[in-house]
Structure 1
Amino acid sequence: MTTHQAVVLAAGRGTRLGTITAHTPKPLLDLAGRPLLLRTLDALASAGVRHAIVVVGYLADRIATALAENPIPGLRLQLVHQQTLDGTARALALAAPHLRPEPFFVTWGDIFVEPANYQRLAAAIASADGVLLVNQVDDPWAGAAVYVDAHARVTRIVEKPPPGSSTTPWNNAGPAIYGPWLWPFLHTLQPSPRGEYELPRAVAAAIQSGITIRAVPVEGPWFDIGTPESLAAARRYAQSQARGIVHP
């Protein structure tokens, strides 16, 4: 099974980054000379994607200009505007009418991983309804706790669990491949306690209904660029890679 389409969720501002995103949307923050969003689109293209939908909101005109000025060979781009920033599930639903009825990548405008991880997701989708990239942490309270069985099948996802309550080291790393089976779960999703329609909650409901999703561990570092500290760490790593420094 080959996945030729993708959605990149890139509508948010990144308020925890403060003044850093006052005039630059988070997906366009520079990493060693290339904006994060362009790095992500490069990676998707290398994994076989030919059509990518970018969901934009905050400073959408800046993103549109950057994409127009930096075309990626072989990749057709399409922008969809999220007028009300009410969650990632609603953002993804906006892209649904523009996708073919087949599997599609979903990734986030603030996640930075090595490009090979997208290729690994594409290879893994043949044995499941969906695949989800996961990273190992001490406590997944800041993201979503992902519980897996002995066969790497995801059995449960708990969004924003209380600190110290999780019995799994796996965190939802963000990038995934889902299929048209996801749309009904988006349409029936209720807002979270935070008042947003959150994509991981829809995926969790799909798993409970019997959809098979397999976990694919991240290879290499994982950066969620949501704070000045995580941005600085991602920049250090990207710069070291540009200089040819090999990391264990």
Structure 2
Amino acid sequence: MKAMILAAGRGERMRPLTDHTPKPLLPVAGKPLIEYHIEALAGAGIRELVINHAHLGKQIEAALGDGSRWGVTIHYSAESPALETGGGIFRALPLLGEAPFLVVNGDVWCEIDFAGLVLPPGRLAHLVMVPNPSHHPAGDFSLEGDALVDVGSGRLTFSGIGLYAPALFTGCDSGAFPLGPLLRSAMAAGEVSGEAFFGRWSDVGTPQRLAALEQSLSG
């Protein structure tokens, strides 16, 4: 299986830290945030990675290189301007191949074992859900058995980690577009599964959350 790390966001809420440094390269406990993902993916046996970038993207390529130091191969998908999540994945499909692939948001930190994630037969997507953090109390979607739905109570928050079949993007056109509408359409057709993860996870979206993660990992 191949994996994609989403690293094209501008990081507006993280300014001024991201004025001169792309958010995935911000250090956490002495290491760029994106390196935690690369190490975890390599540890799960995933050897081919795709990283998209836009804002200060050349810094990402210079910092990570071809991935050989982690035993992986990194391909880059440059965007100018950024294409949002859906458009970014769609642009990278030629690099990701015809099999289901893993996508991880570059601005989250998580202890999940990527090797344990599986896209069930007949599903176009499988999302990892987490308990709602204080900054997102309403959640995103609900689990009914292993099916993920956009209705009901007991909502959980999308972790930014998911498995996708290339067929999810059938009919899409090049350009910027969000991933959410594709997922909701597939949910309505019963084609999205999910699982809840109750381990350590952080959405590193603001300087305050970055500082909290730094304290957690350094303590």
Same fold (TM over 0.5): yes
Identity over the aligned pairs, expressed in percent? 27
Are the equivalent residues in 1 in contact too, given 2:49–2:74 (CA < 8 A)?
A: yes
Matched, 1:62 2:41: no
Are the equivalent residues in 1 in contact too, given 2:112–2:197 (CA < 8 A)?
A: no
Deviation at 1:91, TM superposition (A): 0.8
Going from structure 1 to structure 2, the CA distance change for 1:138 and 1:169 (only over 3 Å counts) comes to farther
Are the equivalent residues in 2 in contact too, given 1:143–1:172 (CA < 8 A)?
A: no
Deviation at 1:70, TM superposition (A): 6.3
Matches within 5 A, 1:51-130: 51-68=48-65, 71-116=68-113, 118-121=114-117, 124-126=118-120, 129=123, 130=125
User: Any unmatched runs of 5+ in structure 1?
Assistant: 158-165, 241-248
CA-based RMSD of the aligned residues comes to 2.5
Aligned residue among 183, 189, 203 for 1:209 = 189
Aligned residue among 31, 49, 62 for 1:34 = 31
Deviation at 1:113, TM superposition (A): 0.4
The amino acid of 1:111's aligned partner reads: V
Matched, 1:152 2:146: yes
Q: Match of 1:174?
A: 160
CA–CA separation in structure 1 for the residues paired with 2:138 and 2:88: 18
Q: Match of 2:169?
A: 183
Matched, 1:132 2:92: no
SS in 2 for 1:22: coil
CA–CA separation in structure 2 for the residues paired with 1:83 and 1:143: 33
The amino acid of 2:179's aligned partner reads: L
Deviation at 1:78, TM superposition (A): 0.4
CA–CA separation in structure 1 for the residues paired with 2:104 and 2:74: 15
Deviation at 1:222, TM superposition (A): 1.5
With normalisation by structure 2, the TM-score equals: 0.89
Are the equivalent residues in 1 in contact too, given 2:126–2:163 (CA < 8 A)?
A: yes
With normalisation by structure 1, the TM-score equals: 0.79
Q: Which has the higher helix share?
A: 1
